[in-house]
Chains A and B, each alone.
Chain A
Amino acid sequence: MPAAASSEPAPALRMRGIRKSFPGVLALAGVDLDVRRGEVHVLLGENGAGKSTLMKILSGALARDAGTIEIDGRAAALASPRAARDTGIAIIHQELALVPEMTVAENIFLGRAPTRFGLLDQPRMVREASTFLSRLGANIDPNQRVAELSIAQRQLVEIARALSLNARILIMDEPTSALTDRESQRLFATISGLTAQGTAIVYISHRLDEIFAIGDRITVLRDGRNVATQEVRSADRRDLIRLMANRDVDELVTQIPRLHGAARLRVEGLTHGHTLHDVSFSVRSGEIVGFAGLLGAGRTEIARAIFGLEPFDQGTIFVDEKPVVIRSASDAIAAGIGFVTEDRKREGLVLSRSVRDNIALPILRRLARLGIVRRAEEQATAESSVRELNIRTPSVGQLAQNLSGGNQQKIVLAKWLATGARILFLDEPTRGIDVGSKAEIYMLINELAAAGVAIVLMSSDLPEVLALSDRVLVMREGRIAGEFTRADASAERVMACAVGM
Chain B
Amino acid sequence: MRRIIAGREAGTVLGLIVLCAGLWIATPYFATAANLTNVAEQSAIVGVIAIGMTFVILTGGIDLSVGSLVALVGVVIGSALQRGVPVIVAIALGLLAGIVAGALNGLMITRGPLPPFIATLGMMSVARGAALMLSDGRPISDFPEGLRALATSDVFGLPAPVVLMLVLYLLAYLVLTRTVFGRYMYAIGGNEEATALAGVNVRLWKSVVYAISGLSAGVCAVLLVARLNSAQPIAGIGYELDAIAAVVIGGTSLLGGSGSVIGTLIGALIMSVLRNGLNLLGVSSYLQQVAIGVVIIAAVLIDMALRRRVQRSSL
The residues of A with any CB-CB pair to B shorter than 8 Å are 307, 309, 328-330, 332-334, 339, 341, 346-353, 357, 360-362, 364-365, 368, 371-373, 375, 399, 402, 415, 419
Is the CB–CB distance between A362 and B199 below 8 Å? Answer: yes
Residues in B neighbouring A347, C-beta threshold 8 A: 191, 193-194, 197
B178 on the interface (CB 8 Å rule)? Answer: yes
A and B contact pairs by CB, cutoff 8 A, 5 listed: A330-B201, A346-B194, A350-B190, A362-B198, A372-B180
Residues in B neighbouring A419, C-beta threshold 8 A: 199
Is the CB–CB distance between B198 and A415 below 8 Å? Answer: yes
A329-B179 CB under 8 A given contacts A350-B257, A357-B186: no
Is the CB–CB distance between B187 and A372 below 8 Å? Answer: no
Give the interface centre of A346, A350, A362 by most chain B CB atoms within 10 Å.
A350
Report the bound CA distance from A312 to B274 in whole Å: 58
Is the CB–CB distance between B199 and A353 below 8 Å? Answer: no
Per-residue 0/1 for B174-192: is the Cβ within 8 Å of any A Cβ (1 yes, 0 no)?
Answer: 0000111101101100110
B195 on the interface (CB 8 Å rule)? Answer: yes
Residues in A neighbouring B180, C-beta threshold 8 A: 364-365, 368, 371-373
Is the CB–CB distance between B191 and A346 below 8 Å? Answer: yes
Nearest opposing residue in chain A for B196, CB measure: A329
Is the CB–CB distance between B186 and A309 below 8 Å? Answer: no
Q: How far is the CB of B2 from chain A (nearest CB, A)?
A: 15
Is the CB–CB distance between B315 and A352 below 8 Å? Answer: no
Is the CB–CB distance between B315 and A373 below 8 Å? Answer: no
Is the CB–CB distance between A357 and B197 below 8 Å? Answer: no
Is the CB–CB distance between A341 and B197 below 8 Å? Answer: yes
Is the CB–CB distance between A364 and B193 below 8 Å? Answer: no
- Within 8 Å by CB of A353, from B190, B193, B314, lies B190
Q: Could you tell me which residues of chain B, from 265 to 315, have a CB within 8 Å of some CB in chain A? A: 314-315
Q: How far is the CB of B208 from chain A (nearest CB, A)?
A: 12
Residues in A neighbouring B150, C-beta threshold 8 A: none
Nearest opposing residue in chain A for B314, CB measure: A402
Q: How far is the CB of A417 from chain B (nearest CB, A)?
A: 13
Q: How far is the CB of B58 from chain A (nearest CB, A)?
A: 11
- Within 8 Å by CB of A350, from B178, B179, B181, B187, lies B187
Residues in B neighbouring A334, C-beta threshold 8 A: 199
Interface residues on B, range: 20 to 34
Is the CB–CB distance between A371 and B199 below 8 Å? Answer: no
Report the bound CA distance from A371 to B200 in whole Å: 14
Is the CB–CB distance between B181 and A361 below 8 Å? Answer: no
A352-B257 CB under 8 A given contacts A368-B179, A371-B181, A372-B178: yes
Residues in A neighbouring B82, C-beta threshold 8 A: none
A352-B198 CB under 8 A given contacts A365-B180, A368-B179, A402-B315: no
Per-residue 0/1 for B193-215: is the Cβ within 8 Å of any A Cβ (1 yes, 0 no)?
Answer: 11111111100000000000000
Nearest opposing residue in chain B for A346, CB measure: B193
- Within 8 Å by CB of A360, from B179, B183, B191, B314, lies B183
* Chain A residues touching B, majority SS: mixed
- Within 8 Å by CB of B178, from A329, A330, A373, lies A373
Q: Could you tell me which residues of chain B, from 113 to 153, have a CB within 8 Å of some CB in chain A? A: none
* Chain B residues touching A, majority SS: helix
Nearest opposing residue in chain A for B315, CB measure: A402
Report the bound CA distance from A460 to B314 in whole Å: 33
Residues in B neighbouring A415, C-beta threshold 8 A: 198
- What are the 8 A-B residue pairs with the smallest beta carbon separation, nearest first? A330-B199, A350-B190, A362-B198, A352-B190, A333-B199, A350-B191, A361-B198, A352-B257
Q: How far is the CB of A334 from chain B (nearest CB, A)?
A: 8
Residues in B neighbouring A307, C-beta threshold 8 A: 197
Is the CB–CB distance between A364 and B178 below 8 Å? Answer: no
Is the CB–CB distance between A364 and B184 below 8 Å? Answer: yes
Nearest opposing residue in chain B for A339, CB measure: B197
Q: Could you tell me which residues of chain B, from 231 to 276, have a CB within 8 Å of some CB in chain A? A: 257-258
Is the CB–CB distance between B187 and A353 below 8 Å? Answer: yes
Report the bound CA distance from A76 to B186 in whole Å: 49
Is the CB–CB distance between A353 and B257 below 8 Å? Answer: yes
Residues in A neighbouring B258, C-beta threshold 8 A: 352
Report the bound CA distance from A363 to B235 in whole Å: 44
Report the bound CA distance from A231 to B272 in whole Å: 78
Residues in A neighbouring B314, C-beta threshold 8 A: 399, 402
Give the interface centre of B180, B195, B201 by most chain A CB atoms within 10 Å.
B180
Report the bound CA distance from A195 to B199 in whole Å: 54
Nearest opposing residue in chain A for B258, CB measure: A352
Is the CB–CB distance between A364 and B183 below 8 Å? Answer: yes
Is the CB–CB distance between B195 and A361 below 8 Å? Answer: yes
Q: How far is the CB of A392 from chain B (nearest CB, A)?
A: 15
Is the CB–CB distance between B191 and A351 below 8 Å? Answer: yes
Residues in A neighbouring B195, C-beta threshold 8 A: 350, 361
Nearest opposing residue in chain B for A412, CB measure: B194
Residues in B neighbouring A353, C-beta threshold 8 A: 186-187, 190, 257
Residues in A neighbouring B198, C-beta threshold 8 A: 329, 333, 361-362, 415
Report the bound CA distance from A351 to B314 in whole Å: 14
Report the bound CA distance from A353 to B176 in whole Å: 13
Is the CB–CB distance between B190 and A372 below 8 Å? Answer: no
Residues in A neighbouring B194, C-beta threshold 8 A: 346-350, 361
Q: How far is the CB of A10 from chain B (nearest CB, A)?
A: 46
Q: How far is the CB of B63 from chain A (nearest CB, A)?
A: 21
Report the bound CA distance from A333 to B199 in whole Å: 7
Residues in A neighbouring B186, C-beta threshold 8 A: 350, 352-353, 357
Nearest opposing residue in chain A for B199, CB measure: A330
Residues in B neighbouring A373, C-beta threshold 8 A: 178-180, 183
Nearest opposing residue in chain A for B190, CB measure: A350
Residues in A neighbouring B183, C-beta threshold 8 A: 357, 360-361, 364, 373
Is the CB–CB distance between A351 and B179 below 8 Å? Answer: no
Give the interface centre of B191, B193, B194, B257 by most chain A CB atoms within 10 Å.
B194
Q: How far is the CB of A245 from chain B (nearest CB, A)?
A: 32
Report the bound CA distance from A491 to B180 in whole Å: 48
Residues in B neighbouring A351, C-beta threshold 8 A: 190-191
Q: Could you tell me which residues of chain B, from 31 to 81, have a CB within 8 Å of some CB in chain A? A: none
Give the interface centre of B184, B193, B258 by most chain A CB atoms within 10 Å.
B193
Residues in A neighbouring B179, C-beta threshold 8 A: 368, 371-373
Report the bound CA distance from A364 to B199 in whole Å: 10
Nearest opposing residue in chain A for B187, CB measure: A350
Report the bound CA distance from A351 to B195 in whole Å: 11
Residues in A neighbouring B197, C-beta threshold 8 A: 307, 309, 329, 339, 341, 347-348
Is the CB–CB distance between B199 and A328 below 8 Å? Answer: yes
Report the bound CA distance from A361 to B184 in whole Å: 8
Report the bound CA distance from A399 to B313 in whole Å: 13
Report the bound CA distance from A328 to B199 in whole Å: 7
Nearest opposing residue in chain B for A369, CB measure: B180
A357-B199 CB under 8 A given contacts A346-B194, A352-B257, A373-B179: no
Residues in B neighbouring A371, C-beta threshold 8 A: 179-181
Give the interface centre of A333, A341, A347, A375 by most chain B CB atoms within 10 Å.
A347
Per-residue 0/1 for B98-110: is the Cβ within 8 Å of any A Cβ (1 yes, 0 no)?
Answer: 0000000000000
Residues in A neighbouring B200, C-beta threshold 8 A: 330, 361-362
Report the bound CA distance from A156 to B201 in whole Å: 42
Report the bound CA distance from A352 to B189 in whole Å: 9
A361-B187 CB under 8 A given contacts A329-B199, A350-B257, A402-B315: yes
Q: How far is the CB of A452 from chain B (nearest CB, A)?
A: 22
